[in-house]
């Protein structure tokens, strides 16, 4: 496995005036807490920390939109190079905006499906909010942008016609707000995206969830990417995220699901996003993430 450290917070909104989201620190804190010792990657690439601006920019309604494009073009090159070398890319964010570059890189070797594991569908786009009212946070839009909804700045990528991934090749697992009266993006339910929300997930259990995922993957047999936003874990265990919530999916279920998916030869990479060390003073969340990834990637140890 090739570890990619992507310390970006460009896709998040400031939580209060003057706040700079802390998830850019995640790769370093996870490394200091033993991530590489546990995973034993064959090699590591480190991206720079980009400079964050909370302000609106010219020519885009996306906060840090231009910088996010640059960052993801660089990430895409790295992912493509890792694939060309025959290794498995594991990208540690950073916020969910890194999904775009990861998919753009993976697409260089052909079409991909996406398993989007996240407590939120991240499906904000101009069809369900008014972009002129505030600069948009890309970390809440990654699935919309990946399926081609939103500004061309982040939906169109070099050498790729159409969206990074079509709706019917996406499986979203873990949305917790789909029954809320103020659900931010109800149109995701009418899209072609396959979805099992957290409530249905609880009633199904991990084996049945895997069966549903494999049903989708079995149709196309494309290679597939796993996006794992740690906010899918309940906030009692994973408070160190931008948008914590309850309920969540049991870490042991997630470990089981991801272990099975990663062991599939068609699995072509994984992003792990949104851990914020500034909200994790005792590092218990860092330990949980490292243990979970350790079990997924070194299941026999």
Site of interaction with Mn ion (CB under 5 A): 96, 118, 122, 229
As measured in angstroms, the least distance from the Cβ of 124 to Mn ion is 11
In the complex with Mn ion, the residue whose CB is nearer, 113 or 121, is 121
Minimum distance of Mn ion from residue 80's CB (angstroms): 23
The Cα–Cα gap between 48 and 127 comes to 33
CB of 172 to Mn ion, least distance (A): 10
Give whichever of 80 and 96 is closer to Mn ion, judged by the CB atom: 96
Minimum Å gap between C-beta 87 and Mn ion is 25
- Do 265 and 251 meet the contact criterion of CB atoms below 8 Å apart? no
d(CA 68, CA 9): 9
- Identify whether the C-beta of residue 266 lies closer than 8 Å to the C-beta of residue 109: no
Query: What order do you get walking across the sheet with 112-117 strand by strand?
Result: 43-46, 2-6, 89-93, 267-273, 223-229, 112-117, 170-173, 194-196
Measured from the CB of residue 197, what is the shortest distance to Mn ion in angstroms? 14
Whose tokens are 């003057």? That residue is 18
Compare residues 229 and 255 and give the one whose CB is closer to Mn ion: 229
Min dist CB 274 to Mn ion, Å, is 6
Q: Which is nearer to Mn ion, 122 or 177 (CB)?
A: 122
Residue 125: partners with Cβ closer than 8 Å, 6 or more residues away: 141, 144, 145, 149, 150, 185
Report d(CA 84, CA 280) in Å as an integer: 36
CB atoms within 10 A of CB 65: 24
Nearer CB in complex with Mn ion: 80/147: 147
Alpha-carbon dihedral of residues 11, 104, 58, 229, nearest 10 degrees? Answer: -10
**Distance from chain centroid for Cα 300:** 26
Is residue 228 within 8 Å of residue 272, measured between CB atoms?
A: yes
Cβ–Cβ < 8 Å for 63, 134: no
**Minimum distance between the CB of residue 218 and Mn ion, rounded to whole angstroms?**
26
């Amino acid at each position: 496995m090739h570890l990619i450290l992507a310390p970006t917070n460009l896709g998040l909104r400031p939580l209060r005036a003057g706040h700079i989201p802390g998830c850019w620190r995640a790769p370093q804190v996870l490394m200091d807490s033993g991530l590489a010792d546990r995973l034993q990657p064959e090699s590591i690439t480190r991206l720079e920390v980009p400079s964050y601006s909370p302000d609106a920019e010219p020519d885009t309604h996306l906060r840090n939109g231009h910088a996010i494009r640059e960052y993801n073009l660089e990430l895409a090159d790295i992912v493509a190079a890792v694939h060309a070398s025959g290794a498995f890319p594991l990208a540690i964010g950073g916020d969910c905006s890194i999904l775009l570059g990861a998919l753009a890189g993976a697409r260089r070797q052909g079409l991909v499906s996406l398993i989007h594991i996240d407590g939120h569908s991240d499906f904000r786009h101009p069809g369900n909010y008014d972009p002129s009212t505030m600069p948009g946070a890309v970390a809440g839009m990654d699935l919309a942008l990946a399926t081609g909804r939103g500004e061309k700045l982040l939906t169109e990528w070099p050498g790729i016609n159409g969206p990074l991934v079509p709706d019917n090749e996406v499986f979203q697992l873990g949305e917790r707000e789909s029954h809320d009266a103020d659900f931010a993006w109800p149109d995701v339910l009418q899209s072609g995206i396959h979805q099992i929300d957290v409530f249905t997930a609880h009633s199904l259990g991990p084996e049945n969830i895997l069966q549903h995922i494999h049903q989708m993957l079995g149709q196309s047999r494309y290679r597939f990417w796993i996006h794992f936003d740690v906010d899918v874990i309940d906030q009692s265990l994973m408070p160190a995220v931008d948008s914590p919530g309850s309920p969540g999916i049991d870490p042991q279920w997630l470990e089981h699901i991801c272990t099975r998916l990663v062991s599939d030869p068609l699995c072509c990479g994984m992003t792990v996003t949104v851990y914020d060390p500034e909200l994790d003073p005792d590092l218990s969340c860092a330990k949980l993430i490292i243990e979970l990834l350790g079990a997924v990637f070194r299941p026999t140890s």
